[in-house]
């Protein structure tokens, strides 16, 4: 029998994160969003709750949960705010997960305790100004100096989340480290600790959305790090990252569902309270149908990421299903934010309103961690086309 209901432990997690989001995030996030400040206090509280360690085993300092538990937490956070949700998502899937999956025992011992407790954050430097969807076209280079036993890194990265906070401890950098026998570039990943000479973090971007999250351009000018900072196998950096990215798409789908459901929450509440022509606007069938369609999109998108996560945890090939989940959920978030703004009218166009923030935050979900066009390519390839 197929059962999409959550067990007691996951329901308890959902309830606790929902309460935290409503009581601790909602009252403060508008000011952080408007002032473009990073919510350190919120992140600290999430660390105490164990959210950064959710999908990691206890022996590594985690909470002993799985990736689906992380997705449940992301959905609940995003129902209130996406900046906080993406901070957690990137910290886990792009920051700590590569260290956990591909790091040496020494690398794990050094970096994971602080990352899994939320005391530190990490970024993943893949995207460049001229290399987004064409991730294999990166130009950042790392040369191994045999005399000193150090990697020398030159290049720059763009749009890197969690890369410039006061608690950022490292950035993992994808770089070309040589040439393969077939003439293609050898791509590897290298850990660069924050504060390394030559590693410069540019000022915070001025963004349309996710205004309370941390995003920077990074520059590497003859940055030297020890040879043992190589993460995983030399020349396997891109293959390693593709696995991380597939998992991350499920997490972004969960975040997108949270935003889509948050639009439903806000619209139902507003439709009951807002009176026009002598009655609540929720009494009007036109408004009811708008909100019904919003709930439909959120519900179906949720089932999509549940399915992709279940396949991943079962050890099945989940790439196509992660792409389906991410594509559908990001579409749902975008459409629901538009509908919610319509329901709220002028109030929905104000930055101080939750749906105003939802509207600004939704678009990046169709771009980040693989554009909608890339997801369609992956789905088509999964069908043998």
Supply the residues annotated as catalytic: 369
Phi, psi of 50 (to 5 degrees): 85, 15
Query: Is the separation of the CB atoms in 293 and 339 below 8 Å?
Result: yes
Mapping DSSP onto H, E and C, the string for the chain reads CCCCCCCHHHHHHHHHHHHHHHHHHHHHHHHHHHHCCCCHHHHHHHHHHCHHHCCCCHHHCCCCCCHHHHHHHHHHHHCCCHHHHHHHHHHHHHHHHHHHHHCCHHHHHHHHHHHHHCCCEEEEECCECCECCCHHHCCCEEEEECCCCEEEEEEEEEEEECCCCCCEEEEEEEEEEEECCCCCEEEEEEEEECCCCCEEECCCCCCCCCCCCCEEEEEEEEEEEEHHHEECCCCCHHHHHHHHHHHHHHHHHHHHHHHHHHHHHHHHHHHHHCEECCEEHHHCHHHHHHHHHHHHHHHHHHHHHHHHHHHHHCCCCCHHHHHHHHHHHHHHHHHHHHHHHHHHHHHHHCCCCHHHHHHHHHHHHHCCCCCHHHHHHHHHHHCCC
Q: Please identify which residue in the block is written with the tokens 């390693």.
A: 240
Determine the length of the chain: 385
Distance CA 256, CA 258 (A): 5
Distance CA 121, CA 197 (A): 19
Query: Is the separation of the CB atoms in 97 and 247 below 8 Å?
Result: yes
Instruction: Report the largest interatomic distance among the alpha carbons of the chain, rounded to a whole angstrom.
Output: 81
Distance CA 210, CA 36 (A): 9
């Amino acid at each position: 029998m197929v059962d999409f209901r959550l067990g007691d432990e996951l329901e308890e997690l959902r309830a606790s994160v929902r309460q935290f989001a409503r009581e601790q995030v909602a009252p403060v996030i508008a000011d952080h969003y408007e002032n473009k400040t990073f919510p350190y206090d919120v992140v600290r509280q999430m660390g105490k709750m164990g959210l950064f360690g959710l999908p990691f085993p206890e022996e590594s300092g985690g909470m002993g949960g799985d990736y689906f538990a992380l997705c449940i937490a992301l959905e609940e956070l995003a129902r209130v705010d996406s900046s906080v949700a993406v901070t957690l998502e990137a910290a886990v899937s792009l920051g700590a997960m590569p260290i956990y999956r591909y790091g040496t025992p020494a690398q794990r011992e050094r970096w994971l305790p602080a990352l899994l407790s939320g005391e530190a954050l990490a970024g993943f430097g893949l995207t460049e100004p001229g290399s987004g969807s064409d991730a294999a076209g990166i130009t950042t280079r790392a040369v191994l100096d045999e005399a000193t036993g150090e990697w020398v890194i030159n290049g720059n990265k763009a749009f890197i989340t969690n890369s410039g906070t006061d608690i950022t401890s490292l950035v993992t950098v994808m770089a070309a480290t040589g040439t393969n026998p077939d003439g293609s570039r050898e791509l590897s990943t290298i850990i660069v600790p924050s504060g390394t000479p030559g590693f410069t973090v540019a000022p915070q971007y001025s963004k349309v959305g996710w205004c309370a999250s941390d995003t920077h351009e990074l520059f590497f000018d003859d940055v030297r790090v020890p040879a043992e900072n190589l993460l995983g196998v030399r020349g396997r950096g891109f293959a390693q990252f593709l696995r991380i990215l597939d998992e991350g798409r499920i997490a972004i789908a969960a975040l997108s569902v949270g935003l889509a459901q948050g639009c439903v929450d806000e619209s139902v509440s507003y439709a009951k309270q807002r009176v026009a022509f002598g009655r609540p606007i929720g009494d009007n069938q036109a408004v009811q149908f708008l909100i019904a369609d919003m709930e439909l999109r959120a519900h179906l998108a949720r089932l999509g990421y549940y399915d992709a996560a279940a396949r991943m945890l079962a050890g099945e090939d989940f790439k196509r299903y992660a792409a389906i989940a991410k594509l559908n959920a990001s579409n749902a978030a975008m459409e629901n934010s538009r509908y919610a703004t319509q329901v709220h009218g002028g109030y929905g166009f104000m930055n101080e309103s939750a749906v105003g923030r939802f509207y600004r935050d939704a678009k990046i979900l169709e771009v980040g961690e693989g554009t909608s066009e890339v997801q369609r390519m992956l789905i088509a390839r999964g069908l043998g086309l």
